[in-house]
Structure 1
Amino acid sequence: MIKELKDSYGHLFEDALLDEISRVGTFKEVPEGFKLMEIGQYIKVMPLLISGAIKILRNDNDGDELLLYFLERGDTCAVTLSCCLGETKSQIRAIAEMDTKLIMIPIGKMEEWAAKYKSWRRFVFQSYHERLLEMLSTIDSIAFLKMDERLLKYLRDKVNVNKNNVIHNTHQEIAYELHTSRVVISRLLKNLENQDKIKLHRNNIEVISI
């Protein structure tokens, strides 16, 4: 675990903190689709991503999902940090976008490390800043972008996160994450195919040029 930890976080944390993380953290591997966190759940641990990706979603009052942002290697979730510090219930759902490796940190260590390690404090503040920018980007896309533009952004994000131009999501799954209907998504995807930007297959979407 210590090698993978240093590869992902060695440029951020000093050796003493890396040693503490390896000593108290729990290494965890989860498959694609695994639910790491549920809305309304009390959070006892904080994840540090070693590899893979996690998508963070939120429900509206009708129970429909909205994709907020992705977490990748070297990231943690600012919402998780906030819930840990405030001992409040989670307001988000976290699902593995692909097979993912994490180190789970007991929440009791967060305040201790914030006082003890400057690099940890910097990491926490930077995580808040980055996640806030991503949420603002999501809000902007909902408020200012048309659905076809939001879909293009979604496809670009998927390609970047998965490092693969083949997207294994159904039209219904995309509709859930973009908070719209499957019919709308299917129509927009067909339009993109007609523009030679994507190619639709039976079980996946191949991104050609977006």
Structure 2
Amino acid sequence: MLTTLLKERFPELASDDKLIEQIADVATMATFKKDDIVIDYGDFIKSVPLVLTGLLKIIREGENEQEMLLYFLGSGESCAASFSCCLIRKRSEIRAISESESKVLMIPLEYADRWMGEFSVWREFIISMYDTRMLSLIDTIDRVAFTKLDEKLLHYLDELTRLKSSTHLSISHHEIAQDLNASRESVSRLLKRLEVNGKVKLGRNEITVIPE
């Protein structure tokens, strides 16, 4: 039952049965396969996504058309950038890509906006979401400015294993290089070093992270 799943995935909202029921009534369930685009550059966003299962990757394109990974959205999370674009009727400046099969509840803007005044738990959830994403972006900026590539790679792998609740990652060296804005050769060399040091096991388009 959707209301039960909502309470499990979004414990911050679970205390208000009326809100949970309204979300279940008005939301549309969307299922995305790996690499499906959920939100694209230039889209007018009319719904706020709530991730029930799976994982979304949020990226932004720079002036040189290179893309940078901003953050991941896992189960029980939503996208602050999409909500702000909804509210001010602004075209999307980010792209959201499904990293695995994902189920996402799409909340129509009119309800997401109205609930800010009607339900304190919804308002607190949205504010908390903005705070979390701001901290994620600050962390991303710090890593880009001050962190070496090997440390970025370790953080990236740790984050993926945490969000996917699995040490087995189906991902290519090319995908990692794109997310880290690095060359594939550099990423492959560092992954090989990690394998020699017993931190990962490499396969064809897959990586197993070995817990310490």
**TM-score normalised per structure 2:** 0.94
Q: Which amino acid aligns with 1:6?
A: K
Q: 2:17: which partner in 1?
A: 15
Q: 2:56: which partner in 1?
A: 54
Contact 1:10 / 1:18 at 8 angstroms: preserved in 2?
no
Structure 2 counterparts to residues 78-157 of structure 1, below 5 A = 78-157=80-159
Unaligned ranges ≥5, structure 2: none
Post-superposition Cα deviations, 1:140-192, rounded to whole Å, max 9, x if no partner, equal: 11111100100110111111111111221111111100001111111111111
Q: Which amino acid aligns with 1:57?
A: I
Q: 1:169: which partner in 2?
A: 171
Post-superposition Cα deviations, 1:19-39, rounded to whole Å, max 9, x if no partner, equal: 111111111222222110001
**In the TM superposition, what is the alpha-carbon distance from 1:47 to its structure 2 partner?**
0.7
Q: 1:34: which partner in 2?
A: 36
Q: 2:6: which partner in 1?
A: 5
Give the distance between the partners of 2:186 and 2:11, measured in 1 at CA.
45
Give the distance between the partners of 2:162 and 2:120, measured in 1 at CA.
31
Aligned pairs, number:
210
1:65 to 64, 67, 81: 67
Give the distance between the partners of 2:103 and 2:39, measured in 1 at CA.
15
Post-superposition Cα deviations, 1:59-84, rounded to whole Å, max 9, x if no partner, equal: 11121221111111211100011101
Indicate the percent of aligned positions where both proteins have the same amino acid: 39
Q: Which amino acid aligns with 1:63?
A: E
CA RMSD in angstroms comes to 1.3
Give the distance between the partners of 2:177 and 2:104, measured in 1 at CA.
28
Q: Which amino acid aligns with 1:8?
A: R
Unaligned ranges ≥5, structure 1: none
Contact 1:56 / 1:70 at 8 angstroms: preserved in 2?
yes
**TM-score normalised per structure 1:** 0.95
Contact 2:39 / 2:97 at 8 angstroms: preserved in 1?
yes
Q: Which amino acid aligns with 2:153?
A: L
Give the distance between the partners of 2:31 and 2:65, measured in 1 at CA.
28
